[in-house]
Amino acid sequence: MKICILFSLTFAYGFLGNGFSNANPLPYDAIFNFGDSISDTGNAATYNPTMPSNSPYGSTYFNHPSGRMSNGRLIIDFIAEAYGLPMLPPYLNLTKGQDITQGVNFAYAGSTALDKDFFMQQMLELDAASYSLSTQLEWFKKLKPSLCKSEECDSYFKNTLFIVGEIGGNDINAIIPYKNMSALREMVPLIVEAITNVITKLIEEGAVELVVPGNFPIGCNSAVLARVGSDKKEDYDQFGCLAAYNAFIEYYNRQLKKAIETLRQKNPHVKITYFDYYGAAKCLFQAPQQYGFSSGKIETFRACCGKGEPYGLSEQIYCGSVASMVCSDPSKRINWDGPHFTEAAYRLIAKGIVEGPFANPSLKSPPFKIA
C-alpha cells in the first residue's frame, strides 16, 4: 500500500497547485501513439462505425460519441493536454492538408500485439488483429515523409514522444475463455517480442524518447470478473480482484520490463519510460473512496454502462444497446462498460503517470496540471 500513499499525496498536490506553469518552450513538440481501445481516439470508429448517434460513449466530456471507448477522455488525451498539445487525431480520419506535426494516433480498438496469423492458427477469428501493432507501425512509416524530410527528422524527433501501448491486452483477453493460466504464460514471450520489435524499428526510424506502458490488473476488470468469476472465496484477494489473473499480469509486466531494460542497454542514446498502469489502476481498486469512487466488494467493480448482475453488465446487453442503462454519476465509477474505465479513472491514472510515481524514469515536467 505504500505506493498508493504516494499516489494520493501526488494527487493532493495536483489539486492544490496552480493549473498552469510558465515553462517554455513546451517539452514535447509532438506525440505519436500506438495501441488499442485504451488509447484509440477514433480509428476503429472511423473505419468501422459501430456506435449510434445516441450512444452514451463520449457523453460526459464530448457530449457525443467521440470514437473513444469511454464516457469521456482517455489517458492519452490527458497526457496531450498536460503538454499543451491538441488531442491526437486518428490516422484513419486524417484529411488532405491537415496539420499533423503535433502528433497522430495510430491506436485501433481491439487491436493486438500479435498479428492475425497467430490467432488464425489458434482457430480464433479476431478481425481487429488486422490492425495489430505491426500494421500501425506501417501506417507511421507511410506518414513519416509528410512529417519531416530526412535531414530534418533528427531535429523533429528529438522533442517527440512515442507511446507504444498499452498493447497486448486483447491478445490475452482472446485466449482467456479457452486456455488455462499456463497457456497464457506461454504467450507472454511472443507478445513482449512483438512489442520490442516495433520499438526497435521506431528507434531505427529516429525515435529517441519512447514510452511503453505495462498492462492493467485484469483480475480487477469488470469484464474479466463477469466472464471467469469464481464461487470460491480463496480465488479473490482482499479487495475483490481475481488473484491468479493479477499474478499473471504481474508476471507479464516483469517480462516486459526486462525486455525494456535490454533495449535500453542496446540503445544508450534513447530514453525508454515504463508506465506502471498496473500500480496506478490497482490503487483505485484498493482505496476507491479515497479517490471519490463508490466502494464495496461488488460496487467497486460495477460498470457504469450496461446491464446485468452482479457487475452491471452482460455479454447480451452491451453498453449502448437498447436495454442497457447508464449510471447517474459516471465520476463515481471506475469502470465504464466492462473492458474500459471511466474518464474519472483515466484522469487519475494519467495524473499518477505525468505528475506522480508511476512513470520510470519520469517524463519531462509538464507545463500544465491535469485538473
CA–CA gap between residue 254 and residue 259 (Å, rounded): 9
Q: Distance between alpha carbon 132 and the CA centroid of its chain, in Å?
A: 15
Q: For residue 187, what is its C-alpha cell?
A: 504467450
CA–CA gap between residue 302 and residue 223 (Å, rounded): 10
- DSSP letters spanning 265-319: HH-TT-EEEEE-HHHHHHHHHHSGGGGT---STTGGG--SEE--TTTS--SSS-T
- What angle (nearest 5°) sits at the alpha carbon of residue 227, between those of residues 310 and 238? 65
Other Cβ atoms less than 10 A from the Cβ of 49: the count is: 11
CA pseudo-torsion sign 56, 58, 61, 64: negative
CB 312 within 8 A of CB 306: yes
Other Cβ atoms less than 10 A from the Cβ of 310: the count is: 14
Name the H helices within the chain. Answer: 2-16, 43-47, 75-82, 116-121, 133-147, 150-158, 169-175, 181-205, 222-228, 243-266, 277-286, 343-354
CB 173 within 8 A of CB 157: no
CA–CA gap between residue 98 and residue 223 (Å, rounded): 38
Report phi then psi at 322, rounded to 5.
-60, -40
CA–CA gap between residue 145 and residue 335 (Å, rounded): 40
Collapsed DSSP state (helix, strand, coil) of residue 52: coil
CB 249 within 8 A of CB 216: yes
| Residue 91 DSSP symbol | G
Q: For residue 121, what is its C-alpha cell?
A: 492458427
Which residues does the annotation mark as catalytic?
Answer: 37, 337, 340
